[in-house]
């Protein structure tokens, strides 16, 4: 396997794994956050505005990690700066 093929294979594997592993944690965390928010809304419906606002802020914070992973994956596929090291131009 020559250098270019090896580089391409590793890039593909890593970009797939990045988003696959990187979305497990945030999804679980967001699910738990939504469960807690729903329970507290059920307990106190009049505070639902404040609760949903705080929920959105918390979800945004958690989702940022998944977004970073997606961004890395897309960069690896489409804007890989190491391309010019490996590919003969």
Partner 1 sequence: MGIDIEALEREVFPRTVTVAGVEILDTLLMTWLVMLLLGVGLWLATRRLEMLPSRPQAMVELIVEWIMKQISDVTGASPERFLTLIGSIALFIAVSMLLPLIPKLKAPTVDPNTTAALATVVFFSVPYYGIRENGAKAYFKQYLKPVFFMLPLNILGELSRTLSLAIRLFANCLSGGFIAAVTFFLLGIAAPVAVQIFGAFTGLIQAYVFMLLSLVYIAAAVRPSRDEETT
Contact set with partner 1 (CB under 8 A): 49-50, 53, 56-57, 59-60, 63-64, 67-68, 70-71, 74, 78
Q: Which is nearer to partner 1, 3 or 53 (CB)?
A: 53
Q: Which is nearer to partner 1, 3 or 50 (CB)?
A: 50
Q: Which is nearer to partner 1, 68 or 87 (CB)?
A: 68
Distances (CA, A) of 79 to 13, 21, 71: 16, 21, 10
H-helix segments, 1-89: 3-22, 24-43, 48-78, 83-86
**Smallest distance, Å, CB 88 to partner 1?**
19
Nearest CA-CA partner of 62 in 19, 41, 31: 31
Nearest CA-CA partner of 66 in 29, 33, 32: 29
Which two three-digit tokens encode residue 36?
């807690």
**Smallest distance, Å, CB 10 to partner 1?**
19
**Smallest distance, Å, CB 78 to partner 1?**
7
């Amino acid at each position: 396997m020559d250098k270019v093929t090896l580089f391409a294979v590793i890039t593909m594997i890593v970009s797939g794994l990045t988003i696959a592993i990187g979305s497990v944690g945030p999804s679980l965390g967001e699910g738990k956050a939504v469960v807690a928010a729903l329970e507290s809304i059920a307990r106190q419906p009049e505070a639902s505005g404040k609760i949903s606002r705080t929920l959105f802020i918390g979800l945004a914070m958690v989702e940022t990690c998944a977004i970073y992973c997606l961004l890395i994956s897309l960069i690896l596929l489409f804007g890989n700066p190491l391309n010019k090291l490996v590919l003969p131009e």
